[in-house]
Amino acid sequence: MYSKVKKLSEIDVPKIVVTPPGPKSMELMRLREKYVPKAVYNVSSIFVAESEGSVIKDVDGNEYIDFTTGISCLNVGHRDPEVMKAIEEQLGKYLHLCFHVTPYEPYIRLAEKLAMIAPGNFEKKVILVNSGAEAVENAVKVARRFTGKPVIVTFEYAFHGRTRLAMSLTGSVHPYKYGFGPLDPAIHRTPYAYCYRCSFGLEYPTCNMRCVEYIKDTFAIHLSPDDVAAMIVEPIQGEGGFIVPPKEFLQGLRKICNENDILLIADEVQSGMGRTGKMFAVEHYGIIPDMITMAKSLGGGLPIAATIGKGDIMDSVQVGGLGGTFGGNPLSCVAAIKAIEEAKKLLENAEKLGKILIGRLKEMHEKYEIIGDVRGIGLMAAVELVKNRKTKEPAKEERNRILSECHKNGLIIIGAGAYKNVIRFLPPLNISEELLNKGLDIFENAVKTLK
Ligand SMILES: Cc1ncc(COP(=O)(O)O)c(C=O)c1O
């Protein structure tokens, strides 16, 4: 029973008993190399024995503060007691049934909850699937079916997943698309508002939002909006480097979509579920998308994803056109219902701790030349590392050295960014202030070692 598992200490961590990766982790890594293809990447060689709250313990007895949460899948922390209780109760009832064959209540209750919390004062309907990529695939299928148009507009540096359509929408060729063609043919890519590295070489706000105006030019000259079904956008880009656009960017996209009968899909797979201090990152921007994709933290640690959309849009698809065997697995549904309730309670904390996190990163920006940019909202924050603040040459090797120094000293943290020079901070929304600061001390010490 989960409740009997020994609690990991929240105060004394990290306790490093052998230099990680220890002998047991190394042995497992040898087996991993033998039986798992190298394409399935690992950012650390630390094998986990148990986890609780904001702490992970490895098979060699080392403890780590977790600033990664399984790439933003544990906004409510590891093994949240309420989520665990809901899973335990469901285990005593039934596991897989398949919603298409013998429907069950948790699917409906979760759909209802998502329809209620998603922005927009209109009727919404929800499909439950298994992964972020699948949620994106479904959003695009529905958008094409509803509008009868083929083209999807996507953005530079975007990440939407690894299935064929999702990787077609993704920006970076390496490693996501290289050698995997043919990709979806009806994708059009345009610059994102990555103000630190503006695609037009301009500066905000004197740029007058050239990236938005550029889409208007494109529609006037190169691509008819009559062929465009939807724009898919991450309100804050995740894998691309935690890029936070100005308000006018998303508002400008919404306006262009309205004027051209194009659907706006917000991919909230990484930015949703309270990560930014609001349940959905779009709430910071005052826009209402036609469809939203969710995954990652939705299941509180179990795999589940959702495509939420306006009722008439979602109902435009023929019976049998959407779904899948495992979509909306009962165990994941009950976990997600609780994870949503718990995440809602943590919004204020995310905002409060986010100020501490971003405040400390900004102080480090003052002290260390290598930190070229600090950005984020709530507990979705990042630093971009550069060799030279003027040329902005990406500090990729230095970034990797900082990451491995953090791992060695008890902090699990990962990178991001098309230029492989970003470090992202994704602690649980209920991490204690003390642990947050301890993790930041480890990070700062790792930055200092570069000298
Ligand atoms: C914004 C965004 N969309 C989609 C995905 C794909 O999700 P999954 O890995 O669950 O397929 C990710 C994963 O990182 C993501 O960050």
Q: Which two tokens stand for residue 47?
A: 């094998």
Residues 172, 372: Cα–Cα separation, whole Å: 22
pLDDT for 13 beyond 70: yes
For the beta carbon of residue 333, count every other beta carbon within 10 angstroms: 25
Determine if the peptide bond prior to 303 is cis (ω within 30°): no
Q: Which residue minimizes the CA distance to atom 3 of ligand 1?
A: 160
Q: Which two tokens stand for residue 211?
A: 């990236």
Q: In what order do the strands lie in the sheet with 414-416?
A: 371-377, 380-385, 422-425, 414-416
User: 157 C-alpha vs ligand 1 centroid, how far in Å?
Assistant: 13
pLDDT for 4 beyond 60: no
Tokens 């299928």 belong to residue: 141
Residues with Cβ < 8 Å from 315, sequence gap 6 or more? Answer: 125
Reported confidence tier of residue 10, pLDDT bands at 50, 70, 90: low
User: 134 C-alpha vs ligand 1 centroid, how far in Å?
Assistant: 9
Residues 255, 151: Cα–Cα separation, whole Å: 18
Note the pLDDT of residue 1: 46
Residue pair 58/15 in contact by the 8 Å Cβ criterion: no
Q: Which atom of ligand 1 is nearest to the CA of 268?
A: 1
Q: Which residue minimizes the CA distance to atom 4 of ligand 1?
A: 160
Residues with Cβ < 8 Å from 256, sequence gap 6 or more? Answer: 212, 215, 216, 219, 231, 262
User: 166 C-alpha vs ligand 1 centroid, how far in Å?
Assistant: 9
User: 332 C-alpha vs ligand 1 centroid, how far in Å?
Assistant: 17
* Phi, psi for 353 (deg, rounded to 5): -70, -30
Residues with CB under 6 A from ligand 1: 71, 131-133, 136, 159-161, 234, 238-239, 267, 269-270, 295
- For 127, which DSSP code? E
Note the pLDDT of residue 215: 98
User: 19 C-alpha vs ligand 1 centroid, how far in Å?
Assistant: 32
Q: What percent of the chain has pLDDT over 90?
A: 96
Residue ranges in 236-329 assigned as alpha helix (H): 247-259, 311-314
User: 133 C-alpha vs ligand 1 centroid, how far in Å?
Assistant: 6
Q: What percent of the chain has pLDDT over 70?
A: 98
Reported confidence tier of residue 8, pLDDT bands at 50, 70, 90: confident
What's the rounded mean pLDDT across residues 169-190?
Answer: 97
Amino acid at 410: G
User: 132 C-alpha vs ligand 1 centroid, how far in Å?
Assistant: 5
pLDDT for 150 beyond 90: yes
Residue pair 183/177 in contact by the 8 Å Cβ criterion: yes
Q: What is the mean pLDDT of the chain?
A: 96
Please give the C-alpha separations between residue 294 and each of 5, 28, 122, 343, in angstroms, as whole numbers: 30, 33, 19, 14
Tens digit of pLDDT for each residue in 298-351?
A: 999 999 999 999 999 999 999 999 999 999 999 999 999 999 999 999 999 999
Q: Which residue minimizes the CA distance to atom 13 of ligand 1?
A: 161
What's the rounded mean pLDDT across residues 265-271?
Answer: 98
Q: Which atom of ligand 1 is nearest to the CA of 237?
A: 1
Residues 441, 450: Cα–Cα separation, whole Å: 15
pLDDT for 367 beyond 60: yes
| Closest to 106 in 3D by CA, of 335, 342, 338, 330 | 330
Residue ranges in 61-129 assigned as alpha helix (H): 69-72, 81-91, 105-117
User: 68 C-alpha vs ligand 1 centroid, how far in Å?
Assistant: 14
Tens digit of pLDDT for each residue in 89-126?
A: 999 999 999 999 999 999 999 999 999 999 999 999 99
Tens digit of pLDDT for each residue in 231-253?
A: 999 999 999 999 999 999 999 99
User: By CB neighbour count within 10 A (0-12 exposed, 13-18 middle, 19+ buried), where does 444 fall?
Assistant: middle
Tokens 């698309």 belong to residue: 177
Q: Which atom of ligand 1 is nearest to the CA of 134?
A: 11
Pocket test for ligand 1, best of 69, 165, 242, 296 (most atoms within 8 A of CB): 296
Residues 77, 126: Cα–Cα separation, whole Å: 25
Pocket test for ligand 1, best of 73, 140, 159 (most atoms within 8 A of CB): 159
Residues 416, 240: Cα–Cα separation, whole Å: 6
Residue pair 301/83 in contact by the 8 Å Cβ criterion: yes
Note the pLDDT of residue 310: 98
In terms of phi and psi (left: phi > 0; alpha: psi -120 to 50; beta: otherwise), the region of 442 is: alpha
pLDDT for 6 beyond 60: no
Residues 411, 31: Cα–Cα separation, whole Å: 24
Q: Which atom of ligand 1 is nearest to the CA of 163?
A: 11
Note the pLDDT of residue 154: 98
Q: Which residue minimizes the CA distance to atom 7 of ligand 1?
A: 132
Please give the C-alpha separations between residue 282 and each of 174, 194, 264, 317, 323, in angstroms, as whole numbers: 28, 17, 12, 26, 26
User: 159 C-alpha vs ligand 1 centroid, how far in Å?
Assistant: 7
